[in-house]
Structure 1
Amino acid sequence: MIERRLRQVFSEAGCEGSVAALGVDSENRVMFGDAEPMVAASTFKIVVALELFCQGAEGMLDPTERVLLSPARATPGGQGFCIFEDVAEVSLRDAARMMLTISDNTATDLLIRRVSLSRVHDRLGRLGLDRIRLAGTIQQEFDAVGRDTGHAGWADMARAMSESVSPADADRIWERALTSPSLRPGRITSATAGQMAALLQLIWLDRAGPAAACRAVRTLLGQQRLTRKIATGFGGEVRVAAKSGTLPGCASNDVGGRGVPGRLPVRRGGVHPAGRTGPENPAARLRPRCGGPTGGRTPSPAAPVPLKAGLTSSPAGRPGGAAAARACRPRRHHR
C-alpha cells in the first residue's frame, strides 16, 4: 500500500524517486527504490563535516585551527564566502558551520582539501556506506560541467552566458549544462536513499565516529537556516536538524532529523510530496549568479525534489525513533 502511494506521489510530481525509512531504535523500515543512485547535491556536506569532526576527535587536526579564505580561490555558490571582497579568517569548525547552515561552497572545498577525499571514502567504507561517493571538490564538478558545454570550465561558461547576444543564447548554454554527462549519478557526487538514511541513523546513534564528532554534526544540522523542506511536514513544536541540497533541474534535496521536546520520540519518518516540473518552470531559466549552478536564487517550489531524509531524535538530541531518506529526479534524459 505504501509503495503504491509513494509511486503515485512521485508520478504526480513528474519525478522518479526512492525512499528509505529506518528505525533508529527499532526494526521498523520502509524501502522504495532505496538502492538507486541519485545526485546528492549539497546533502553530501554532512559527510565532509563528519570527517572533519572525527579527525578532530581523533587528534588528527584541531577544529579551532584558523585558516584564510581568499576571494581568488572562492568556489561559486550564490552566498557566503564567494561574495566576499576581502580575505576572511575563520576556524575549521566555523567553516563547517558555514558549510552546513548556508551551504557555503567555498567553505566546503576548503574542508574537502583539508580532510582529503581518500579519508572521507575510507571512513564511509568502514561504515558500510560505499554507495555515497564524492567525485571531487565542488569546483572540480562545476568545471567538468563547463567543459561538457564546450568551454574551458565553469567560469568560462558563465562568462559566455553573461556575454551572450540574447537571453535565448544564454538559455541554450545553460540547457547544455543541465544535460551534461557530468551531472549523472556516479560522475557527480551521488548517494542512495538507503545509505543516506543509514548515515543519519549512525550519526544519531553516535556510531558514525566518536560521540563528540556525531554530536557536533547534529548540532550544526540543527542550525541550518533553510527550513522550508523537511520542516514543513511537521508542526512548529517539532525540532528539525537537516541539510538541504539543490541543483536546478536535477535535485532539490533534504536530509535530517526531527524530534519533539518534552515528548516521547515519534517512531515514523516523514516524507512530503515532491514539486512539479513542467513548461511553467523551465530549468533553463535558472541561470547562474555568483557563478554557481544554483543561480544564487531560491529554487521555485515547482522544482523537482530528489534525495530527502528524516530522523527522529529525543529532546536531548540523542537517538530517537526513525531515519528516513527520499530521492527523486525529474523524468528527463541526459544527452
Structure 2
Amino acid sequence: MTTDTEKRIRDVFADAGCVGHLHARRVGGRDDVEVSVGADDLVVLASVYKFPLMLALCEAFDAGETDPRDTVRIEPAYCTPGPTGVSLFRDAVTLSWRDLATSMMTVSDNAAADLVLGLVGVDRVESLLAGLGLTKTRVVGGTADVHRRLVIDAKAHTTAEAFAALANNDEAWTVSAYDPSYVSATTPREMTTLLDAVWTDRILSPERAAFVREVMAAQVWSHRIRSGFPYTDVVVAGKTGTIGAIRNEVAVVSFPGEIPVVVSVFTRAARADPMLPVVDDAIGRAARIAVTELRTGRLN
C-alpha cells in the first residue's frame, strides 16, 4: 500500500477522534494486494462476533445437526437486553433458527445471538475459525457474558447502570470490554479472510454461503461502511459491532461488474458517547479510500 493512502486513512481516524485499524483486499485476490492500517493488531470484536457465530450455525445446518426450519419459543423477559430484536418484544414469540439468525445479523439482535450461541456452543465457533487458520480470532462468550463482566468492572448493580457509567466521559473507567486480551477479539486481516472464505464458497455449502451473503446484504445499518458508498447499485453486505467507545464494521462492497472488495474497520474513540456520528462517518470514509485504491488498479 502506498504511504499516501495509509496517511489519508490515519488522518481520517485522527480527525474523528479515534484510533482505527483497517484491512481491505479484493475477493479471491492475492494476499499481497491489500490496504493495511494496523491490520494485524488485536482488536475487540464487539457484535462483529455474530458473523462467525452465524457461520457456525450454518455449518450445523450443513451437517444436518440442526434443521434451519426448526423453531424455538422465546420469552422476552428472559432474553439478553438490547436495543433491537426480540428483547424489545412484550409477548412470547416462536421463530425458526434461520429467522432468528436473520434478526441476529440484520439488526444485531443480542437476544437472538445468545440463543444461537447456546445452540451451537463456543467450541464449534472456535473449531470453524481454527479450520481456516484464524489463530488470533477467538469468541469467548456472548453478549450476556460481556454484560456480566461490565457490571463487575463498573461496580454497578444492573446492566443499565454499567452502560451509564461506561458513557460517562468524566470517569476514567478501565473495563475489560475494551481490552482484546479479555473479550472476543480478532484482527482486521483475519476478518477479511473470513469474509473472503464466504464470498468464494470456501466455507459452508454454496446454499448456506449464499444465505449468509443475502442476510448480510440486508443489514439495516447504513451509518458506517455503507455511508461511504451511497449508491443504489452498490451492494454493501456487512456486520457492525458497538460497545461504548468501540465502533466496528466488516463488509463486502460490490460494484456492478467488478470483483467485490472485502474491508474491515475497527475503531476506539476518545469518547464513549452513545452516539458518535463523526466516528461512524470516519469508518465509511476510511473504507471508501481503501476500496477506491483497490478498484483503481494501482495496487497489482
**TM-score, structure 2 length as denominator?**
0.83
Percentage identity across paired residues of the two chains: 30
**Distance in 2 of aligned mates of 1:92 and 1:256:** 23
RMSD: 3.1
Local SS of the residue matching 1:123: helix
Other-structure match for 2:16: 13
Aligned residue type for 1:63: P
Other-structure match for 2:153: 148
Shift of 1:29: 1.6
Contact 2:114–2:142 (8 Å) recurs in 1: yes
Q: CA offsets per residue over residues 106-130 of structure 1, 9 Å max, x none?
A: 0000000101100110110011112
Other-structure match for 2:160: 158
Matches within 5 A, 1:110-259: 110-151=115-156, 156-158=158-160, 171=165, 174=168, 179-234=174-229, 235-249=231-245, 251-259=246-254
**Distance in 1 of aligned mates of 2:168 and 2:92:** 31
Aligned residue type for 1:24: V
- Please, which runs of 5 or more residues in structure 2 have no aligned partner? 296-300
Other-structure match for 1:301: 277
Aligned residue type for 1:114: L
Shift of 1:62: 0.7
Aligned residue type for 1:158: A
Other-structure match for 1:85: 90
Local SS of the residue matching 2:277: coil
Q: CA offsets per residue over residues 165-184 of structure 1, 9 Å max, x none?
A: xxxxx658856695313431
Shift of 1:211: 1.9
- Please, which runs of 5 or more residues in structure 1 have no aligned partner? 162-169, 287-298, 313-320, 323-335
Q: 51-60 or 205-214: which moved more?
A: 205-214
Q: CA offsets per residue over residues 181-215 of structure 1, 9 Å max, x none?
A: 34311312111100011110111001122222211
Q: 1:272 to 1:220 in 2, by over 3 A?
A: closer
**Distance in 2 of aligned mates of 1:222 and 1:142:** 28
Contact 1:10–1:273 (8 Å) recurs in 2: no
Q: CA offsets per residue over residues 68-107 of structure 1, 9 Å max, x none?
A: 1112321111121111121111000000000011100000
Other-structure match for 2:298: none
Contact 1:255–1:309 (8 Å) recurs in 2: no
**TM-score, structure 1 length as denominator?**
0.75
